[in-house]
Amino acid sequence: MTSAARTAVQGMPRIGAGRSLKRALESFWSGNIPAEELQRTAAEIRRLNWQALAAAGIDFVPSNDFSLYDHVLDAAVTIGAIPDRFGAAGGVDLDRYFAMARGGDVGGHPVSPLEMTKWFDTNYHHLVPEFGAASVFAPDSSKPCGELAEADTLGIATTPVLLGPLTLLLRGSHPAGTDPLRLLGPLVDAYAEVLAELHQAGAGWVRLDEPALVEDREAEELAAFRDAYRRLAEYSDRPNLVVSTYFGDAGSALPVLADLPVEGVGLDFCRGPENLSLLRATGGLGGKVLMAGVVDGRNVWANDLDASLDRLDRLGDLSAEVVVSTSCSLLHVPLSLGAEHDLPAEVLPWLAFAEEKLGEVATLAKGFGLGREAVAGELESSRAVRDSRRRSGRVVNEAVRRRADGLGGSDPRRSSGPEVRAAAQRERLGLPALPTTTIGSFPQTAELRSARAGWRAHHIDDAAYQTALRTEIDRVIRIQEEIGLDVLVHGEPERDDMVRYFADRLDGFILPVEGWVQSYGSRCVRPPVLVGDVSRTTPMTTDWTNYAQSRTSKPVKGMLTGPVTMLRWSFVRDDQPESATALQLALAIRDELVDLQSAGIAVIQVDEPGLREGLPLRGGDHAGYLAWATRAFRVVTAPADAQTQIHTHMCYAQLGDIVDALAELDIDVVSLEAARSGMALAADLEAADYTGGVGPGVYDVHAPGVPTVAEIERLLRRAIEALGADRVWVNPDCGLKTRRYDQVVPALEHMVEAARTLRAELVTV
């Protein structure tokens, strides 16, 4: 080649600098700003993203990757898959759009939102489209066409991004007993209409994302996919099409992709290195463009430029053109390292956030097209960074490694079986039937956030901050006693995040201050970065839990975050197997559990919402993952006595395919998301090997409404019918920190009232 290769980026972070989208959304929802101001903020985020991409020389600049809430919801709106209850015959305005996401009032009637689940194996949550038995689609291309025109006014040609029809159908919900593929024909017609309008609006290329292809797909699904894209390609009024996969290798779908009559294919070579051998076995892509994802969109480590160039060289003869690309959207990483001022100077060069990854894409394109001598300086710097990280004292702790090695191949388990534990815990706790509790956190009030910010800025001292925290714990305990909950929590006022709080108190982590990424809607998190071996040097939770227990005669749960969730919700190190990192985390958290138990805490919850999220996308890899993941959990809980009741919590993921792994956790009670799905998981639990207590969430804490007593009773009856009253606990879906007290208190009162009603019925039977 005599010039740099062309470049592509799959998508950009959409929360804006300083989380400007979050602030605008929440101000709009609270009625403090008009829709026009929200849209101005959104337009400014898009402008800055497009200009950053253009400045980096990116050739395929994405548009329609931005969303006010969720790109899967946007795709459903674009093709007109709107459930009847949202009354969208005249189009989807902002109120209806947000009602689909959060619930609300439509036409004077309260409506429930779409269900929410995890986006494949990421920590991003998406809304689940609903498809009826005979859905009719009414395409509306105003958003993708509008953003295409918006970028054009800036002099930037963009490639609109659409979620592909197969993935949209397979990530949606369908009436029981119906085949999702039944709708692929009419859905293709809707997509063809949108593509034609984009072409007429000036789009030269459109990217259709089909990450469902990196999961196990049946032959009939691949055949339907092939036929659908052949039909799309037949339309004369269409732009060039790139079908993109990510989060893994394309497996048996790769020959189908190679044979499609489209102009380009996108493959992930970071999470799916096997794509290289699959391409070779297939004979390559022929005359198609290959968008080669060699810059990781899922993690924050600086690219190994030598390794990426080696990979690009091996791809050179497998397609008509290799375009250097990110592996997936940069939605999953923070915006810019430029905002970080407190990270250790040694560590900073090891990292690359979204804007830095644009530079990596450009460097690789130059080196691939013009030869390594054209980027000799960058390659030398990359090697120096890798060497610095490998030699750093932050990375290896021999004492931690010896302790982990000391476990050998043992199978840690609690010393007593479930029946013995259940009897001991009944005697110690004396709980009623259908015991009520919450998941852990209570609302983080403005006053509490202000106190934390003041403490961090050294405007108030440790004593004043601790007084504020004790005052809040007193309040939370008092509220729970007044409501009548049976097992209390301290409310976690000292924690701004269930992972970051522990990471800040464990050796082996660094914590970017502005490293925000979107979890869903306006919810943003700051994942810690795991840079080295993990250990606990001092207790992390016992003081606050002990204080809360001293304020009540009811049991207060000790609250810990489990090792797999710590792993999955951090940017994990890439220089050792995840199983080794999980074991180190487990040993550190185990020390905390031992301290809580020694202090007399009778109920300890070890949250593992990340367990399902980490499940590999292909079934053949499930058993190996679950073996080390559940073992890591048991390393934490093995020291628990029979009288100590061990809970775990999981939320917002499709749990049916790991439900049998619950028995391997060796727990006493599990609480799960169930409200948005209408208690659908109860049937899975009924058939599972796990026989312990179950707290299927009876109200959706991520929607702003307050559930009625009747709604909660209805869900509870379904749970009791499936599981039996002796196993059912009563709790919300998730923690309450994102809600307000004026929402939380009446909701919990309704929950307790519903539990008491059904408890009384049990007595009279």
Residues 23-60 as b/e (b if ≥16 CB within 10 A, e otherwise) read ebbebbbeeebeeeebeebbeebbeebbebbbebebbb
Per the document, the length of the chain is 765
Largest CA distance in the chain: 85
**458 catalytic residue (yes or no):** no
Q: Is 764 exposed, middle or buried (0-12, 13-18, 19+ CB in 10 A)?
A: exposed
Q: Where are the alpha helices (DSSP H) in 444-521?
A: 446-456, 462-483, 500-503
Sign of the alpha-carbon dihedral angle for 142, 143, 144, 147: positive
Please spell the DSSP secondary structure of 499-528, one letter per residue. THHHHTTEEEEE--SS--EEEETTEEE---
Distance CA 383, CA 400 (A): 28
3-state SS string for 300-362:
CECCCHHHHHHHHHHHCCCCCEEEEEECCCHHHCCCCHHHCCCCCCCCHHHECCHHHHHHHHH
Distance CA 531, CA 397 (A): 11
> Tell me, what DSSP letter sits at residue 285?
-
324 beta partners: 7, 292
CB atoms inside a 10 Å sphere around CB 384: 11
Structure tokens at 657: 């395919």
Check residue 668 and give left, alpha or beta (phi > 0: left; psi -120 to 50: alpha).
alpha
If DSSP codes are grouped into helix, strand and coil, which group holds residue 429? Answer: helix
Computed on alpha carbons and rounded to an integer, the radius of gyration of the chain in Å comes to 26
Structure tokens at 420: 């013995």
- Per-state percent for the chain, helix, strand, coil, to nearest 5: 45, 15, 40
Yes or no: say if 291 and 323 are a contact pair by the CB < 8 Å rule.
yes
Tell me, rounded to whole angstroms, the distance of Cα 49 from its chain centroid: 22
Q: What residues have CB less than 8 Å from 685, skipping those under 6 apart?
A: 659, 672, 694, 696, 722, 723
Distance CA 204, CA 238 (A): 9
Distance CA 187, CA 197 (A): 16
Distance CA 23, CA 25 (A): 6
Cα→Cα distances 249→14, 440, 616, 623, 636, Å? 26, 38, 12, 19, 33
Please spell the DSSP secondary structure of 593-642, one letter per residue. HHHHHHTT--EEEEE-THHHHTS-SSGGGHHHHHHHHHHHHHHHHTT--T
> Tell me, what DSSP letter sits at residue 416?
S
Yes or no: say if 530 and 571 are a contact pair by the CB < 8 Å rule.
yes
What is the phi/psi pair of residue 691, to 5°? -120, 10
3-state SS string for 80-121:
CCCCHHHCCCCCCCHHHHHHHHHCEEECCEEECCCCEEECCC
Residue 88: CA count within 13 A, CB half-sphere? 27
71, 125, 126, 702: the catalytic one is: 702
Q: Is 623 exposed, middle or buried (0-12, 13-18, 19+ CB in 10 A)?
A: exposed
Cα→Cα distances 159→149, 164, 444, 671, 691, Å? 11, 14, 41, 43, 51
Cα→Cα distances 75→11, 286, 518, 599, Å? 15, 30, 18, 52
Active site residues: 702
